[in-house]
Structure 1
Amino acid sequence: MSKFTTVSNGELVTNNGIPPPVNWTNSYEDMGGDMFWGDGEQLEDEVRGRGIEGDIRPHYGMAPYTGEALYLFEVGSGQFFFFNAIDGSLLRIGGHSDLKSIVDILDDPDQGLPALDIEEV
């Protein structure tokens, strides 16, 4: 269990105080759990392999019913990334240093993911 999780309504969820955007989940198990987010596991290998240091804090993953394998997480304080587990791409989100502004864009039907400034790492 990650230090960035809590139990809510009997389910282990990410602990950031902001509800997930539409079609995203904060269920830690639906996001891969410790096998994906744990120390020395897949996401840490991907992040460290690109020279990025700091605590990795999971926030959300695309809901299982979407068929997508995209995850939103933070490294350190204020560096936000998407990881696509299908193609292994890691994308840094620029121009935003707080989770709420990113969630607001993802939730806006006139903006969404394409409205974010992202670059591959």
Structure 2
Amino acid sequence: MSNYTTVSDGVVVTDNGIQPPVNWVNSYEDMGGDMLWGQGGQLEDEVRGRGIEGDIRPHYGMAPYTGEALYLFEVGTGQFFFYNAIDGTMLRINQQSDLKSIVDILDDEHQGLPALDIEEV
């Protein structure tokens, strides 16, 4: 279990104080659990393999019913990324450096993911 989780109503969830955007979840197990987020897990390999250093903090994953395997996480403080577990791509979010502004954009039906300034790393 990650240092950034807590138990809510008997479910392990990411602990960031902000509700997930629509169609996203913060259930640690629905987000891949320790296999993805634990020490020595897949995300640590992906992040370090790209030369990115810092503590990895999971935030959200696309809800299982969407059929997507996209995850939003933070490295260090204010460096946000998406990871697509289907094709192995990692995208850095360039302009937003706080989780609340990212969630607001993802939740806005007129903006969403395409409105974020992202680049592949």
Normalising TM by the smaller chain, what interval?
over 0.9
CA RMSD of aligned residues (A): 0.3
Q: Structure 1, unaligned stretches of length 5 or more?
A: none
Q: 1:19 maps to which residue?
A: 19
1:82-97 counterparts in 2 under 5 A? Answer: 82-97=82-97
Instruction: Provide runs of 4+ in structure 1 moved above 2 Å.
Output: none
Give the distance between the partners of 1:9 and 1:40, measured in 2 at CA. Answer: 28
Q: TM-score if structure 2 supplies the norm length? A: 0.99
* Match in the other structure for 1:104: 104
Deviations along 1:31-57, whole A, 9 cap, x unmatched?
000011011110000000000000000
Q: Which residue is equivalent to 1:4?
A: 4
Task: Return the alpha-carbon distance in structure 2 between the equivalents of residues 107 and 96 of structure 1.
Answer: 15
| TM-score for both structures, normalised by structure 1 | 0.99
Return 5+ residue gaps in structure 2 as ranges.
none
Aligned residues: 121
Q: Determine what percentage of the aligned residue pairs are the same residue.
A: 83
Equivalent residue letter for 2:20: P
